[in-house]
């Protein structure tokens, strides 16, 4: 405190010296004039404080807008790249399971390993877009790609996915042996609702982010107004969705989710699990 007072006194002396050097006239004024002047100085001081505060807010808003813009771009890149990785990862898994040749299998395994690395990077990018803590998927070891024989076959399935190559890959898996499900594909929310109205489905695979004005959550809400029991599997790597899905699962035990990109056997296992639980409930 004493040091600050000393600095103020030194500043005062310096200012008075400068004033004397400039040889400016000193004015005598009445007490009322002095009060008026003090009032004006106080008003000007408050005006300066307001202007400084508004300037700080403008600067903060500019920074926030910049971060929001960067986050939106990062989220869009992560979403698009997840779709690309889903296609590569799924086809690599199919190749590993389909081709017995060791050299060919090794190539598919290398491709698969790189998609796992890519998945970790896009998850970090997606989390960055939400200013959240980075999480890593450490499970980079290739698991044996094997789709177990299941009893739940010939079900009517609706795949809601706006990426054609992803929906085609999932349809190939679900319609082939041993599952032989009947599969329809909707490329957007509007088509999904139309197909749901016209047909009876036993299971719905639902992407969260869809092209058009109706997203996956809109489709889900519409379906639940008509049918509270049909099993629904959400597919999405969107961080905002992943943060909210757990609370939704507590309210609805006929849903589950997989982040993009995902393994085919993970997808098949959840399809099997949800259809099986649904059939068990119907039998009770």
Q: What pLDDT sits at residue 184?
A: 97
Please, is 93 exposed, middle or buried when counting C-beta atoms within 10 Å of its C-beta (0-12, 13-18, 19+)? Answer: buried
Contact between 199 and 156 under an 8 Å Cβ cutoff? The reply is yes
CA–CA dist 9, 27 (Å, integer): 23
Helices 216-226 and 189-198: crossing angle, nearest 10°?
Answer: 20
What pTM was computed for the model? 0.65
Q: What pLDDT sits at residue 256?
A: 94
CA–CA dist 88, 270 (Å, integer): 20
Helix residue ranges per DSSP H, the chain = 2-21, 31-98, 102-129, 164-175, 189-198, 216-226, 239-251, 264-283
CA–CA dist 95, 99 (Å, integer): 6
Domain spanning 32-135, CATH architecture: Orthogonal Bundle (1.10)
Indicate the domain borders of the chain: 32-135, 156-283
| DSSP characters over 47-82 | HHHHHHHHHHHHHHHHHHHHHHHHHHHHHHHHHHHH
Please, is 234 exposed, middle or buried when counting C-beta atoms within 10 Å of its C-beta (0-12, 13-18, 19+)? Answer: buried
Q: What pLDDT sits at residue 68?
A: 66
Rg value, the chain, Cα: 32
157 strand-pairing partners:
183, 203
- Residue ranges, the chain, pLDDT below 70: 1-2, 4, 7-8, 11-12, 14-31, 33-45, 47-49, 51-52, 59-64, 66-76, 123-150, 284
For residue range 4-20, what is the model confidence (pLDDT) as tens digits?
Answer: 677 667 766 766 666 56
Q: What pLDDT sits at residue 139?
A: 37
Q: What's the order of all strands across the beta sheet hosting 182-186?
A: 182-186, 156-160, 203-207, 232-235, 255-258
Phi, psi angle pair for 256, to nearest 5°: -150, 180
Q: What pLDDT sits at residue 269?
A: 92
Q: What pLDDT sits at residue 142?
A: 37
Angle at 114 between CA 241 and CA 215, to 5 degrees: 20
**Mapping DSSP to helix (H, G, I), strand (E, B) and coil, where does residue 167 land?**
helix
Domain spanning 156-283, CATH architecture: 3-Layer(aba) Sandwich (3.40)
Q: What pLDDT sits at residue 132?
A: 41
Q: What pLDDT sits at residue 43?
A: 65
Question: Cis bond leading into 261, ω under 30°?
Answer: yes
| DSSP characters over 212-233 | SS--HHHHHHHHHHH-SSS-EE
């Amino acid at each position: 405190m004493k040091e600050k007072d000393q600095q103020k006194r030194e500043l005062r002396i310096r200012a008075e010296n400068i004033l004397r050097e400039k040889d400016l006239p000193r004015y005598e004024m009445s007490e009322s004039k002095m009060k008026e002047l003090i009032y004006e100085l106080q008003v000007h001081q408050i005006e300066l404080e307001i202007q400084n505060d508004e300037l700080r807010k403008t600067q903060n808003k500019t920074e926030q807008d910049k971060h929001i813009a960067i986050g939106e771009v990062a989220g869009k890149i992560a979403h698009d790249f997840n779709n690309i990785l889903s296609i590569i990862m799924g086809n690599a898994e199919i190749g590993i399971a389909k081709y017995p040749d060791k050299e060919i299998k090794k190539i598919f395994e290398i491709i698969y390993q790189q998609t796992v690395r890519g998945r970790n990077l896009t998850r970090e990018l997606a989390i960055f877009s939400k200013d959240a803590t980075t999480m890593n998927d450490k499970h980079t070891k290739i698991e044996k790609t094997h789709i177990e024989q299941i009893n739940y076959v010939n079900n009517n399935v609706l795949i809601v996915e706006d990426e054609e190559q992803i929906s085609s890959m999932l349809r190939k898996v679900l319609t082939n042996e041993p599952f032989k499900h009947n599969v329809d594909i909707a490329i957007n929310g509007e088509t999904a609702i139309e197909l749901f109205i016209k047909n009876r489905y036993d299971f719905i695979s639902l992407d969260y982010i869809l092209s058009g004005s109706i997203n996956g959550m809109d489709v889900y809400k519409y379906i639940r107004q008509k049918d509270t029991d049909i099993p629904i599997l959400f597919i999405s790597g969107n961080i905002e969705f992943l943060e909210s899905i757990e609370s939704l699962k507590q309210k609805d035990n006929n849903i589950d989710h997989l982040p993009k990109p995902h393994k085919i056997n993970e997808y098949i296992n959840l399809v099997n699990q949800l259809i099986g639980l649904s059939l068990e409930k119907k039998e009770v």
